[in-house]
Amino acid sequence: MTSSGNPPLERRPEWRLTGVIFFGLIAIVILVATFRILRPFMTPLLLAAMVVTLTHSLYLRARLRAKERSWVAAIVMLLGIIFLLVIPLFLVAIALVHEANTVIQSLQSGEARQFLARADLTNRLAFLQRWVPGFDPASVSPQRLFLPIVQEIPGWVARNGSAVVGGIAGMVIEFFLFLLATYYFYVEGETIMNELTVLSPLPERYDRQFAKQFKDVIDATFRGYVVTAVAEGVILTLGLVICGVPAALFWGAFGTLLSLLPFIGPPVVWVPATLYLMYAHAATWQIVLLIIWGAVIIPILEHVIRPWAMKGKTELPAIPLLFAVLGGMEAFGFIGLVIGPLVFSLLMSIIDIYKRSFRIVSGMPSRPGELT
């Protein structure tokens, strides 16, 4: 015992090789078990981490005004998240449900059948039989492809009502866990980061680089893609409303979701909407305005909004970004929209650290162990 009453710290030379191996095995087992326990809650945990990262500067200001009382500042931030984000999203969701019901009812009506019959895709695509032997134009008829699906929607809802209710209950539980995790990360986030820095065997400058890369990717993803997608969705919805497209809010929200994916976005909505206006014999000004709106106004605003939102943040090239987003969503669900680019960006950091640490020049490393 030391004079202070605390036991002396153990030194690594006192560890035998068998002890190090045994401790490593125990640590691996505990880490795997911890991951399996937390795996069902990864989505709310990751969302909480991202929200705290994005709003940490606001939290510091709130904590300063609360006289360094972390729990007060955290509660204020949670209330702000609920009132500024959750309530508007809830109201938009109610409006979207109403719009979706309108779309389904219109597709199931006789008017929709008359519109599809007037489009007459079967006869319009008959010329393809000359170039594609065995092609049957009737196989791509909207009456055969879409109407049976639409007619089955009420039956599907009736058969899966309990699953739908269970899904809503699960979302409520995940939201509650998200609030708890957000509160905890606000209050203990700095302590967690300090502990990770202490535990990390990497040089301090690389710990800072990884932390900066994590924050930059989240900022870039939120500002460069989420903000831009929401702006495009609002602009697209406004254009659909002006041009008189039915269920404009529903299709605008659909276009907003597609805008989150690289190379995909508003054209998936405004091009079919333009064709609808043509076949519905809409006014010429509506058709022309929607084409100009989608082909000119939205791309111009996108090229203005995205650089402003990014503000110098680095982003992946377009094609790797596409693989990162799609692969991330396939592996982790919707949250993979951020995880995919984050993993790819951290991979680039690892490669950069490796090159700088081992001084790779023209493919030939310097003497082993020589660092910059």
If asked whether residues 52 and 145 sit together in one domain, one would say yes
pLDDT at 121: 59
Domain membership of residue 31 (yes or no) is no
pLDDT at 152: 60
Q: Which of 343, 77, 73, 366 is nearest to 213 (CA)?
A: 343
Domain membership of residue 2 (yes or no) is no
pLDDT at 372: 42
Residue 94 has pLDDT above 60, yes or no: yes
Residue 3 has pLDDT above 50, yes or no: no
Domain membership of residue 30 (yes or no) is no
pLDDT at 366: 46
Sign of CA dihedral 337, 257, 299, 218: negative
Structure tokens at 285: 């000004």
If asked whether residues 164 and 241 sit together in one domain, one would say no
Q: What's the CA gap between 48 and 82, in Å, rounded?
A: 13
Predicted confidence (pLDDT) per residue in 4-55, tens digit: 455 555 555 567 778 888 888 998 999 999 989 988 888 888 888 888 888 8
Residue 266 has pLDDT above 60, yes or no: yes
Q: What's the CA gap between 309 and 331, in Å, rounded?
A: 27
Last residue of a domain, one of 189, 217, 234: 189
Last residue of a domain, one of 158, 189, 220: 189
Residues 6 or more apart from 117 whose CB is under 8 A from it? 143
pLDDT at 28: 92
If asked whether residues 150 and 263 sit together in one domain, one would say no
pLDDT at 160: 58
If asked whether residues 224 and 147 sit together in one domain, one would say no
The predicted model gives 212-229 an average pLDDT of: 75
If asked whether residues 248 and 169 sit together in one domain, one would say no
Instruction: Give the three-state DSSP class for 364.
Output: strand
Bridge partner list, 364: 361
Last residue of a domain, one of 189, 224, 252: 189
Q: What's the CA gap between 238 and 294, in Å, rounded?
A: 11
Which of the pair, 32 or 147, is modelled with greater confidence?
32
Domain membership of residue 20 (yes or no) is no
Phi, psi at 361, each rounded to 5°? -125, 120
Q: What's the CA gap between 304 and 245, in Å, rounded?
A: 26
If asked whether residues 257 and 294 sit together in one domain, one would say yes
Predicted confidence (pLDDT) per residue in 130-143, tens digit: 666 666 666 555 55
Which of the pair, 49 or 329, is modelled with greater confidence?
49
If asked whether residues 206 and 113 sit together in one domain, one would say no
Q: What's the CA gap between 355 and 274, in Å, rounded?
A: 52
Q: How far is CA 217 from CA 51, 321, 323, 327, in A?
A: 13, 12, 16, 16
Bridge partner list, 361: 364
pLDDT at 241: 87
Q: Which among 18-32, 155-169, 207-221, 312-326 has the top mean pLDDT?
A: 18-32
The predicted model gives 321-329 an average pLDDT of: 79
Q: What percent of the chain has pLDDT over 90?
A: 8
pLDDT at 351: 80
If asked whether residues 79 and 156 sit together in one domain, one would say yes
Domain membership of residue 34 (yes or no) is no
Residue 117 has pLDDT above 90, yes or no: no
If asked whether residues 205 and 281 sit together in one domain, one would say yes
If asked whether residues 88 and 121 sit together in one domain, one would say yes
Domain membership of residue 286 (yes or no) is yes
Residue 63 has pLDDT above 70, yes or no: yes
Angle, to 10 degrees, between the axis of helix 110-119 and the axis of helix 87-108? 70
If asked whether residues 109 and 141 sit together in one domain, one would say yes
Which structural domain range is residue 221 located in? 200-372
Predicted confidence (pLDDT) per residue in 158-170, tens digit: 555 566 566 677 7
Looking at the structure of the chain, the number of domains it has is 2
Instruction: Give the three-state DSSP class for 361.
Output: strand
Q: Which of 230, 267, 249 is nearest to 97 (CA)?
A: 249
pTM score above 0.75 = no
Q: What's the CA gap between 336 and 264, in Å, rounded?
A: 17
pLDDT tier for residue 367 given thresholds of 50, 70 and 90: very low
Domain membership of residue 13 (yes or no) is no
Domain membership of residue 195 (yes or no) is no
If asked whether residues 159 and 289 sit together in one domain, one would say no
Residue 113 has pLDDT above 90, yes or no: no
First to last CA, the chain: 42
